Structure 1
């Protein structure tokens, strides 16, 4: 039986006192696990709300407008896939999917509806927090001097404006998640280069990210679907076999 969603609770920030407070929603019917995740998030300075079923979780996302949602795949009633698909109609928050099933199909389905990352139970809460910090590092920290904005890139009917974080196809906006946009922007920033999975991971998730490199392939697949590309017709994001990906600038 589902339990009522909890109200946001505040933890003691571990960072600078002036840092803006982030909000998170944890949706998991395993109360003990949800409490552990909430505790770690609160220690990192988040305001946290929890829900034990999908409908309550969606209502919390609408109410709280969180930066992050930690979402269990195997929820009673409305499962995590349906929750993620629904919340993507009104929120661009980061979503980390939790699953007790480690097969690739669950990962592909979960990410195809807009999840940014996934973890398989049982998992280390410290690793979860490391993934969360990486996702929320926008813009990503860099030790290099600031570079001038990359001018908009036009490829046929596609226009990528990284400064405005906008993508248009045939004049219509393309609805990408934050991570999907960052993958496309990383490719657009180097239009004549082929980027390996590891290079894309460093550009989007950061050099210290730890996880499955094939996460890149799933996000690229989803970007292609939204741009109308297929495996046989790669107009905008091209695969260079054995190397990586490049933006489709011809040649």
Structure 2
């Protein structure tokens, strides 16, 4: 009768695969409604995060998806930026561009994570990703377990033709692709390769202001970060 009991005890102490911890912080002067979209439904896809607040969530290994901040949401979930179908919990719906994105692919080959902060779909809030010290293995390189993000207020320097206004102020900055819908700006058609879609003026301005963020579709080499967990990396996602 002891053998089954030992098996149960052993199983009870087996570590869970779902042990990445994400610390989501709102350092903005306003409330942020966090949106989440990925291959696992986390927190029903979103939640309200008051200014100065923090929420810790557990993210499963093999998660692939994105986090973004929504602003100016009312009680029905209708948001000025980053809206996900007029709901507080996005529940599998993506965010309406423009919005700054924190993107993750966790537990890849050899347990390696990939992450970046992307401005490809435009910008609405400062955002950064910080791997938590002590949760990852030692490594080297500029893009290994380093801070990724855009901490500048790009709304204040957004070109006039890309600005989104609400209440008399600029609340977001569109991507050139969304605004002009050309192959050159969208890196498609004859411009659909890294060789034929080099960085253009709008992307150059974003990259200069935020060198640690993705600025256009083929900005991989200067924007994609990796981190190997020990055993699984935890991350801080900070708005503003």
Higher-helix-fraction structure: 1
Relative to the length of structure 1, the TM-score reads 0.31
Higher-strand-fraction structure: 2
Q: Which has the higher contact order (CA 8 A, sep 6+)?
A: 2
Larger radius of gyration: 2
